[in-house]
Structure 1
């Protein structure tokens, strides 16, 4: 696959206004995924050093955020597009604005495209590609232009190869090998900068972001020292992100002590969750209420409920987004998700199905509605044990 053939795959997605993801795999086991919305790239994941990329772009575009204070949930890292979800959550929490969100996406996509071209041109790696529609990301971008991305990556590759760097990867890390020889050739200030940065801890991508110069400029400036043996390029692993586990509370522990079905309700209304809790627990079942949808994912992964009630209209993240997110995770692919809505419109009935919901009920909640849903979607043994006097036909 030459460069023109490679880039033609992206152009075809523009032409057909594609929705879904475009995956590339190389012979070394690397994978690049580009997510499309109406023919435009809205995100890119995978590649080499994805965690380094996320951290350096946060530091570059959102310097006000304290990266050292980031504690990511282990469960979030199980999702292919974990980086997009984290960025989306920061946006909803108003930790970054629309411009910063857009800049982050553009920077990420440009790096991923350049990285993909390098894999094909530098490593002479055979690339395979595949279109998939199992993941449809909901974009909050103001706009993107994939044609501009394609033109930029062509220019970047021309600059890289014209500078004589076509045999190098920006994922390499420079390390100082002959410090005494370097002292004789540069000023004290330059030497101290070498000691601080050229230490095998930062890749060329990292250094370019720290110094806010182009990847071509930083690599060209280091090349003479590499040629003289004063420094060398080495391969380094991806960094680790600080993660945390959700602490089990007494309710979570009790859920695991018996085989009672577990029902979860995600609704920002405390009144609604309390009503559902009373109905569910009166039948001997376990119940967890979640008011903050941004906290829902980790709690759900930890407890693995048998059925989920999900409010449609919530601040920050709506029920469509939460439902779509859950359906992308294998352990929730078959879990019944029942939407709670105040709307009785036909449009919403169709839309909740599109986003993966199993069923829906209208508010205000009635006990008979909940019993019908539980009898319909819980295992037969649970119906017999918990609803012996309730009609099971529906």
Structure 2
């Protein structure tokens, strides 16, 4: 496969597990270093960063900040509390401003605030979420950029492993008849009175608190420590009755206050 900073955008239909494996394997043997960029008809763009044929990071899509915050909170929760006290001389460096998700993880590793194992889990699960979203789109375009954007290599992720895990998650999602629902959507209550009639007082109280239009399905999965598919499947009866709805929401702001 040709590596070029001006490579054309190539469409792929039904970009599911096997075709993902084929594409990623085609970058492994020539030890590709650069960016693999995917786009969807909805205007989304995801970027995978490669070093010598292996993934070192990925970002993009609808909710890059939510996704980053969620996975850091999941595997290294203490770090979330440290963001507000970051040294301005660090965060206002050019590379940090452009690639803050990755550079902040790198900074924490150098400061020994996080282990390489924790970083591996954070980055791996970010990639799995992105691959799930790409799989759900089914049809994408991709492009290669032969440039080394990131300043270091924190971890090396084997594409085969994350593709398999993302595909298994997608299969579970499909089998639960959720293929037309999106994990980045937020549940909201449309009919409070009727929902109260259909649920126990405890369930209604929990749903009223959590289904506030701010928490995506993925956010809720972390908050209540339950499987994403299981949570969403349990909502289906209420969604089908029109009592609960799933809506699109914007990403949250970047947690770092960059100065001009």
Shorter-chain TM-score category?
A: 0.7 to 0.9
Tell me the equivalent position of 2:73.
59
Instruction: Report how far residue 182 of structure 1 moved.
Output: 2.2
Instruction: Report how far residue 159 of structure 1 moved.
Output: 1.2
Pairing partner for 2:216 from 188, 203, 210: 203
Q: Partners in 2 of 1:47 and 1:71 — Cα distance?
A: 28
Tell me the equivalent position of 1:176.
189
Pairing partner for 2:122 from 96, 104, 108: 104
Tell me the equivalent position of 1:326.
none
Q: Partners in 2 of 1:164 and 1:68 — Cα distance?
A: 40
The answer to whether residue 99 in structure 2 is matched with residue 86 in structure 1 is no
Between the two proteins, the alignment pairs up a number of residues equal to: 240
Q: Partners in 1 of 2:189 and 2:81 — Cα distance?
A: 27
Contact 2:221 2:228 in 1 (8 A): yes
Gapped runs of 5+ residues in structure 1?
121-125, 247-301, 303-394
| Cα distance change of structure 1 residues 199 and 77 upon mapping to structure 2, 3 Å threshold | farther
Instruction: Report how far residue 78 of structure 1 moved.
Output: 4.7
The answer to whether residue 38 in structure 2 is matched with residue 16 in structure 1 is no
Q: Partners in 2 of 1:172 and 1:77 — Cα distance?
A: 29
Tell me the equivalent position of 2:50.
36
Tell me the equivalent position of 1:5.
19
Tell me the equivalent position of 1:118.
136
The alignment's TM-score, normalised by the length of structure 1, stands at 0.57
Contact 2:34 2:147 in 1 (8 A): yes
Contact 2:49 2:57 in 1 (8 A): yes
The answer to whether residue 237 in structure 2 is matched with residue 224 in structure 1 is yes
Gapped runs of 5+ residues in structure 2?
1-12
Residue deviations 1:8-63, cap 9 Å, x none? 21121223332222111123221111112222212101111101111111221112
Residue deviations 1:114-153, cap 9 Å, x none? 1111122xxxxx4221121212532122x53211112112
Q: Partners in 1 of 2:80 and 2:101 — Cα distance?
A: 17
The alignment's TM-score, normalised by the length of structure 2, stands at 0.83
1:1-394 to 2 correspondences below 5 Å: 1-2=13-14, 3=16, 4-67=18-81, 70=84, 73=91, 78-79=97-98, 81-120=99-138, 126-137=139-150, 138-141=152-155, 143-246=156-259
Instruction: Report how far residue 197 of structure 1 moved.
Output: 0.9
| Cα distance change of structure 1 residues 77 and 208 upon mapping to structure 2, 3 Å threshold | farther
User: Greater Rg, structure 1 or structure 2?
Assistant: 1
Q: Partners in 1 of 2:144 and 2:168 — Cα distance?
A: 26
CA RMSD of aligned residues (A): 2.2
